[in-house]
Structure 1
Amino acid sequence: MKLVAKRLDVVEPSPTLAITAKANQLKASGLDVVGFGAGEPDFDTPNHIKEAAKQAMDQGKTKYTPVSGTVNLRDAIIQKFKNDNGLVYERNQIIVGTGGKQVLYNFFMATLNPGDEVIIPAPYWVSYADIVRLAEGIPVIVPTDIASGFKITAEQLEKAITPKTKVFIFNSPSNPTGAAYTRKDVEKLVSVLEPKDIITLSDDIYEKIIYDGLEFVNPAMISGKMKEKTFVVNGVSKAYSMTGWRIGYAAGNAEIIKNMDTMQGQSTSNASSISQAAAEAALLGDQKPVEEMRLAFDKRRKLIVSLLNEIPGVECRMPEGAFYAFPYITGVYDFDGFKKLVLEKKEKSLSKLFCDVLLDKYNVAAVPGVAFGDDKAIRLSYALGEKDIEKGISRIKQMISDLKG
């Protein structure tokens, strides 16, 4: 008897979680490990948010809530969309889940049929393709690169669309590259999408972490017609440093929301009632901590990119948002020392080999670009202090120097 379901044959464990777990294990053993792997802010959750959670507990708000979220939180989300994005939704168009990942999972489980295609620009967040496969869909990967600013063009999108296309995933600012689309960029994509019978899933989780005065724009904000065909996913994890609270949310077509509610009702039911109260306070309360964190990330962004670009064999573009650098290390692949490693280890993925050696010998955790669909790069999260950034990049520089010989 086979104990493992066949559906697991098409997915891999999350590489970011695996690398972070290994780094934490090494730290626990006493090693001085610099962790660039985790995709979460290093700041504490703002105090007024924690106080709201404490108050909710004191008031006995510790029971089941509606599957789609409390009325108060859904109303707060409606207000957020109206204030920040100029988008108007009703309560039956809003759902709250246990993190943005669950919301995405439920969306695909509720919308995809076997053989439906989902267009995913690469580099992409590690879970997109695996979730699509679990829902029996087919990921259609459209590559971008450093020369294009890691952004898909309207021409590429048009070419990728087939009669089987059901969903297009739009993620700006992006994980892993930090690339962010301008209004003009989005308008060009919308010119392709608007006439088509395709759902656009807009993953806006890094909306608040954007730099250089760039305007945040998603496809739903371009036109009323596009809003009707766009499903917007967001959450409080990144902007409010609430990763462990596990609150994501989405807005869109009421029928899709209803079906997601059914899916969620048969799995986790509601998200934590206490976390929902905290999320309400996050969305409606003082936004100064969000800006303070963004400014700190901006300073770190400039630091890590400047240090990376000083290293021979490394090329890193300046990200427009999020808190990730995605340096190309193809120059390092040409070094004799690295070629020797390839022969010794017989590892097919060059970025994975680089990151394995980096962690095992130099005590620095990074995520190989192959996990995001681009083996030419590695992902470094700069959601850590400046001293740790300097220490970690210094070790990367030393490793590359050793490989160069």
Structure 2
Amino acid sequence: MSKLPNITTSIFTVMSKMAAEYNAINLSQGFPNFPVDQKLTTIVGQLATQNSHQYLPMAGYPPLLNKISLLIQKSYGRTPLPENEILVTAGATQGIFTAIQALVESKDEVIILDPSYDCYEAPVLLCNAIPVRVSLNDDYTPNWKKIEQACTAQTKMIIINNPHNPTGKTWELSDFDALENILVQFPNILVLSDEVYEFITFEKKHISAHSRTAILNRCIMVSSFGKSFHVTGWKIGYLIAPEHLMIEIKKVHQFLVFSVNSICQIAISEYLDLVSVEEISQMYIEKRNYFRNLLKGSRFELLPCEGTYFQVASYASISNENDVDFCKKLITDYGVAAIPISTFYENKKDHQLIRFCFAKDDITLAEAAKRLSKI
């Protein structure tokens, strides 16, 4: 008997497999196809010949923990304690899974805001807890009235994602004010803040939960070096949480992976001395603008993109097909893979919207846009 009877193969896997079968340009899965910074690969090459291949401490490489603390201090004015409040994880997904497994109990309720990334629900179900899906507004801002109405005495956690995948929406100060008002009414609710695209924002500066002192004692922050430094295959992320929560999270972490890839941790620790995270957004804003300009003459309507490396587009003026069928047709007939937005909703809500990943080199984006403009 399956513990996850309603969870099937990920839409990202399905679309990437189809893209490979039809030799289509893959703008579906969120991974860059351009080279990693040579400074980083040089560090890795040097470490490969050194004694960097054995277990590191369970919580993470101590110099890396110190540099994460410094990064958070420079970025948000908060200084988490390296030895007590920071945990290096095997990617953000493992961090999310670990935090939920450690802190959510049977019959607890966990609020998930739709459209939502697909890794949130499964760990909730594996806790024998209850996912409560609440849709965002049509402009993808949080509907605080609905969120408040969904909160009960059984609510253990609210999962937030800012900048938001799949829509690229970012939160306003008023959104955090509304969240904090709910937390005052429900003092037992924890917040899991997925901020893996924190350094990929554009015209509006990212507002992090790190900057909200009122909720820090109840908040688990999720970050990703894989996303920030476009090394998604390394699967290196980190959690930051108050010590009383981190104690429980580490209990689960040690039996999932114990410790994370040693060379990758040491390499990132050294690389952080050579790179500025402020440069990351500039690179992606150029890619976003380049891709949007290429599609100006197409029949797609592009929605605003405030962060992440995803562009949501409406195909309503092109076809009446549902978004899953339309994405399959994009692959088979036009040679471009995208992700249907309905798959991010529990109720498969279909607004005829699809998601493109623009974390690709210019040649790839130009060819994809050429094909899309023919539709």
Question: Common fold, TM-score beyond 0.5?
Answer: yes
Over aligned residues, Cα RMSD in angstroms? 2.2
In structure 2, the partner of 1:113 is 105
In the TM superposition, structure 1's runs of 4+ consecutive aligned residues that sit over 6 Å from their partners are: none
Aligned to 1:347: none
Deviation at 1:68, TM superposition (A): 1.6
Which ranges of structure 2 fall in alignment gaps of 5 or more residues?
none
- Identity among equivalent pairs (%): 25
- 1:333-381 per-residue CA deviation (whole Å, 9 max, x = no partner) reads 54xxx4xxxxxxxxxxx11111111112221111111221142211111
CA distance in 2: counterparts of 1:215 and 1:366, whole angstroms: 27
In 2, Cα distance between the equivalents of 1:176 and 1:133? 22
Q: How many residues align?
A: 369
Which residue number corresponds to residue 361 of structure 2? 385
Q: State yes or no: 1:233 paired with 2:222.
A: yes
> Which one-letter code corresponds to 2:344 in the other structure?
F
| Structure 1 unaligned regions, length at least 5 | 28-32, 339-349, 400-405
- 2:107 and 2:130 in contact (8 A); partners too: yes
User: Is the Cα–Cα contact under 8 Å of residues 311 and 397 in structure 1 kept in the other structure?
Assistant: yes
Aligned partners of 1:324 and 1:381 also within 8 Å: yes
Alpha-carbon displacement from aligned partner over 1:309-351 (angstroms, at most 9, x marks no partner): 6544x432211001111123344454xxx4xxxxxxxxxxx11
Q: Scaled by the length of structure 1, what TM-score is found?
A: 0.84
CA contact (8 A) 2:164 2:170 kept: yes
- Are the aligned partners of 2:4 and 2:122 in contact in 1 as well (CA < 8 Å)? no
- Residue in 2 aligned with 1:46? 37
Structure 2 CA distance, aligned partners of 1:153 and 1:200? 16
Contact 1:183 1:215 in 2 (8 A): no
AA at the equivalent of 1:113: E
Matched residue, 2:304? 318
Partner deviation per Cα, 1:252-298 (whole Å, 9 max, x = no partner): 032332333222222322110001112212434321xx555532321
**Given the alignment of the two structures, is residue 16 of structure 1 paired with residue 12 of structure 2, yes or no?**
yes
Alpha carbons 2:4, 2:125 under 8 Å: kept: no
Residues 1:292 and 1:221: Cα distance change in structure 2 (over 3 Å): closer
Pairs within 5 Å for 1:117-132:
117-132=109-124
Paired residues for 1:306-385 under 5 Å: 306=293, 308=295, 310-312=297-299, 314-334=300-320, 338=321, 350-373=322-345, 374-376=349-351, 377-385=353-361
Question: Structure 1: how far apart are the matches of 2:17 and 2:156?
Answer: 35
TM-score when scaled to structure 2?
Answer: 0.90
Q: Is residue 2:49 matched to residue 1:58? A: yes
The structure in which a higher percent of residues are helix is 1
* Among 287, 298, 303, the residue aligned to 1:300: 287
**1: distance between equivalents of 2:245 and 2:10?**
27
Once the two structures are superposed, what CA deviation does each residue of 1:155-191 show, in whole Å capped at 9, x if it has no partner? 2321221222111111111111110112333223223
Contact 1:41–1:238 at 8 Å: present in 2 too? no
1:182-233 Cα offsets, whole Å, 9 max, x none, are 2333223223224422111111110111101x2221234122x311111101
C-alpha distance in 2 between matches for 1:375 and 1:281: 45
Say whether residues 1:159 and 2:149 are aligned partners. Answer: yes
Query: Kindly tell me: are residues 17 and 255 of structure 1, through their superposed partners in 2, closer, same or farther at Cα, counting changes over 3 Å?
Result: farther
Instruction: Choose the corresponding residue for 1:262, options 251, 256, 274.
Output: 251
Contact 2:234 2:264 in 1 (8 A): yes
Does the Cα contact within 8 Å between 1:203 and 1:234 map onto a contact in 2?
Answer: yes
1:193–1:332 distance in 2 versus 1, CA, 3 Å: farther
Mapping for residues 157-196 of structure 1, pairs under 5 Å: 157-196=147-186
Query: Deviation string for 1:79-126 (max 9, x for gaps)?
Result: 111121122222121111111111111111111112222111121112
Inter-CA distance 397–129: structure 2 relative to 1 (3 Å threshold): farther
Deviation at 1:142, TM superposition (A): 1.6
- Are 2:95 and 1:95 aligned? no
Amino acid aligned to 1:375: D
The aligned residue for residue 135 of structure 1 is: 127
